[in-house]
Amino acid sequence: MKLLLVTVVEEYHKDILKLFKKANIESFSESDIDGYKTTSSNLSVSNWFSSVKGSAESRLFFSFTDDEKIEDLFHLIEIFNENLETNNPIKAVVVPIEKFI
């Protein structure tokens, strides 16, 4: 068992839910988060309040799941990211679990 962490911009919320379903990851949690980049971008330049740094509405998903399902999801995410027209790919990491109850 490992801990899977996935971040997506809000725009891909429905897409990642479909990918989780295709990978047979049925148990997971999600949370709203704000994503930030420390480099300047057109988003922060176009902001009416120039002293406020731009953030992107994002989602964090996490699941304790099996290697096989994680591999399936990673493959699906790779395919999804290859077809993006934006610079906001789905990002995922896996953390090994040493001990759990």
Q: Which CATH number do you get for residue 67?
A: 3.30.70.120
Kindly state the average pLDDT of the residues 57-78: 96
Nearest partner of 8 among 68, 53, 73, judged by Cα: 73
What is the residue range of 26's domain?
A: 2-37+54-96
CA atoms of 5 and 20, how far apart (whole Å): 12
Average pLDDT, the chain: 86
Kindly state the average pLDDT of the residues 81-90: 91
Q: Per the structure, how many domains does the chain have?
A: 1
72, two tokens: 């399936």
Nearest partner of 96 among 59, 73, 64, 72, judged by Cα: 64
CB atoms under 10 Å from CB of 73, counted, come to 24
Q: What does the pLDDT look like over 25-64, one tens digit per residue?
A: 999 999 999 877 776 555 544 444 444 456 788 999 999 9
Residue 100 pLDDT exceeds 90: no
The answer to whether residue 70 sits within a structural domain is yes
The answer to whether residue 75 sits within a structural domain is yes
